[in-house]
């Protein structure tokens, strides 16, 4: 079996330009910016409504959401946006010969540690996105695109905290000499 070498990644400046262009089009067409956390909220709400309809009917959070989204949570355009991201990422991986399951981690990290860290980090990020009323793409990227003070502060907090914390975790990713 021959293995093809993967193609190189897209130029990051060109990718940034395309991301900005997509953001501009999204704001122009929908009147809103990009965001992903709303799609996951829609899936969670639909799951609760399906598995525990009585709980959903008696909880203010779900009834308020239902009143403001009479078409149902899965008809939100954000759900279709995230589906498009998954499909686009898969097609990009196929086009560049990068489809496959691979656990990326530093040399000093066990598989279980990496998986647990990813799950805990993702859960904390999802919880934080609800407290902050949006994920990084919604709060920071879209917020900065419309010169929102909150978007600028969010972006500074994301990168600032990443730079402060990176020092303590760098040995997990860097090979020891």
Write down the pLDDT at residue 59. Answer: 92
For each successive 10 residues of the chain (177 residues), what is the average pLDDT?
67 89 87 81 90 93 87 85 90 85 83 92 83 76 85 86 84 64
Among residues 122, 148, 116, the alpha carbon closest in space to that of 135 is found at 122
Write down the pLDDT at residue 49. Answer: 92
Integer Cα distance of 65 and 53 in angstroms: 14
Write down the pLDDT at residue 1. Answer: 54
Contact status, residue 158 vs residue 136, Cβ threshold 8 Å: yes
Q: At what angle do helices 77-95 and 37-51 cross, to 10 degrees?
A: 120
* Sequence-distant (≥ 6) Cβ neighbours of residue 158 within 8 angstroms: 136, 140
């Amino acid at each position: 079996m021959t293995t093809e070498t993967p193609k190189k990644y897209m130029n990051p400046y060109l990718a940034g330009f395309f991301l900005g262009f997509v953001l501009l089009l999204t704001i122009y067409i929908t009147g809103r910016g990009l965001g992903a956390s709303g799609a996951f909220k829609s899936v969670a709400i639909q799951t609760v409504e399906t598995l525990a309809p009585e709980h959903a009917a008696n909880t203010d959070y779900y009834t308020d959401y239902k009143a403001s989204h009479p078409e149902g949570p899965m008809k939100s355009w954000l759900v279709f946006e995230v589906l498009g991201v998954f499909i686009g990422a898969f097609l990009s991986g196929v086009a560049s010969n990068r489809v496959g399951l691979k656990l990326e981690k530093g040399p000093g990290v066990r598989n279980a540690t990496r998986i647990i860290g990813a799950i805990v980090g993702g859960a904390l990020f999802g919880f934080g996105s609800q407290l902050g009323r949006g994920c990084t793409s919604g709060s920071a990227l879209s917020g900065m695109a419309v010169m929102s003070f909150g978007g600028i502060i969010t972006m500074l907090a994301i990168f600032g905290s990443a730079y402060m914390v990176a020092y303590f975790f760098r040995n997990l990713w860097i090979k020891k000499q």
